[in-house]
Amino acid sequence: MKKMSKGIVYLMCVLFWTQISPVMALENPGTMEVKEIYVNYQLLESVEQAYINQQHQVMTPLNSVMEALGKTVGYDPASGQVTIQGDRNIPEVVFYPDGTTTLDGTLYQGEGFTTILNQRTYLPLQWLVDFYGYQVYCEEVTRSVYINTGYTMKPEDFKGFRRMENLPKPTFVSHAGGTVKEITHTNSKQAIEDSLKRGNYFVELDFLFTTDQQVVLGHNWGLMSHLMELTDFPVSHETFMKSSLADGLTQMDLADLAALMEKEERLFVITDAKAGNLQLLSLIAQEYPTLKHRFIPQVYDEKEYETAVGLGYKHIIYSLYQAYRTDSQVLDFVTRYNPYAVTMATERVKNGLAKKLKMAGVYTYTHTINTEEELVLYQKMGVDGVYSATLPVILSEEVTGTSFVEHQRVEE
């Protein structure tokens, strides 16, 4: 049987996919009522009761939710078919009484996506994630469900992550802060702010130590000397902060970054220290303990991973670019440590490591990807996400008003 391709999405609550007959009426519909449903942050004022069933699926009423998402739901009493129609004036989805389903013209046998209860059709939220690539977030305390068709989130959504062990994994990570004024690798305040405006809340930043052992943001001293017209490098913290960055951009030190993170609760920082990685992570943990959960360290060997865990970091990326490890060594590492993700160069992807890690259930990134064609190519090779300074900008310009998720649906 052909399987549905999966959108690479954020899934922020535990939703188990089980096959339920579309004509099965539940005697005991569920163990917990869902209090509120928000679609693109708008509360559905009139909605049939949603619930969590005995299989721990969040079941939502088909009519109310799909109509709020701009879809038209139809029902043919003669055939028993339920249809969902979008902007193309043709049915995107057809649910048949025998349990089969047609998705964009492709027939799926015996999936049993829907449930009939009290003459209403209910759909698992997992289905919205898998077929449409929508973002779903479940607030466990208030029992509220958020369904977002775009790639953006509001700051209050992230508060729930602080109680959750699993942080979502984005497809796009803004490399070196992202692109601003057509300049890459600046690690500047404006680059980070532009990334946030485009909905890219996971930003990789580079950290350097000055001659007086203060932390500043910069890709490397050679590049920073060019961007800041430094005659000599490395430099002191005072010299770095008083120098002018290209095109009027604003350079930052660690204190500046912390202040920006306090202001922008959506911002998550993936660290890249060219030297002194453990010194950096220790400093962050000591000086900014309330922000530590929003720093995602990249580590380069077993000792650094174990130290980062000891410092209290929960989500750690194993990066392969500073020290070579064989495929077997990498697979042994992820088995023992279960990192948040593994980041590798494109050559390792081409040689099959990403597919091996995918089979092991490990999320992977590659760097640096700058075209949509490359994104599709490397996703087909098994990569889940990419570091890119330009790709999120390209997609946001080409597809104004459209979720990046639409570009993340790769056919298996």
Domains held by the chain: number: 2
27 or 193, which is more confident: 193
Per-residue confidence (pLDDT) for residue 38, from 0 to 100: 73
How far CA 318 is from CA of 310, 313, 321, 346, in Å, comes to 16, 13, 10, 15
Pair 112, 208 in one domain? no
Is this model's pTM higher than 0.75 or not? no
Sequence-distant (6+) residues with CB within 8 A of 59 are 29, 30, 50, 51, 52, 53, 115, 117, 122, 123, 124, 125
Per-residue confidence (pLDDT) for residue 68, from 0 to 100: 78
Q: Do 52 and 31 form a contact (C-beta atoms < 8 A)?
A: yes
Establish if 186 belongs to a structural domain.
yes
Establish if 70 belongs to a structural domain.
yes
Q: What is the pLDDT of residues 222-235, one digit of tens each?
A: 999 999 988 889 99
Task: Give the largest CA-CA distance in the chain.
Answer: 81
At 140, which amino acid appears?
A: E
Pair 140, 199 in one domain? no
Pair 138, 192 in one domain? no
Pair 227, 326 in one domain? yes
Say if residue 390 is exposed, middle or buried (CB neighbours under 10 Å; 0-12, 13-18, 19+): middle
Average pLDDT over residues 314-330: 92
Pair 87, 221 in one domain? no
Establish if 292 belongs to a structural domain.
yes
Positive/negative CA dihedral, 197, 386, 403, 17:
negative
Q: What is the pLDDT of residues 1-29, one digit of tens each?
A: 333 333 322 333 333 222 222 222 333 44
117 forms beta bridges with: 120
Instruction: Domain of residue 197: give its range.
Output: 172-408
- In three-state secondary structure terms, 162 is helix
Pair 247, 131 in one domain? no
Rg of the chain over CA atoms, in angstroms?
Answer: 23
At 110, which amino acid appears?
A: G
Domain end call among 149, 182, 198: 149
Pair 129, 199 in one domain? no
Pair 302, 198 in one domain? yes
Establish if 18 belongs to a structural domain.
no
Establish if 335 belongs to a structural domain.
yes
CATH number at residue 210: 3.20.20.190
Per-residue confidence (pLDDT) for residue 6, from 0 to 100: 33
Structure tokens at 39: 């679609």
Q: What is the pLDDT of residues 102-121, one digit of tens each?
A: 877 777 665 556 777 777 77
Domain end call among 117, 149, 181: 149
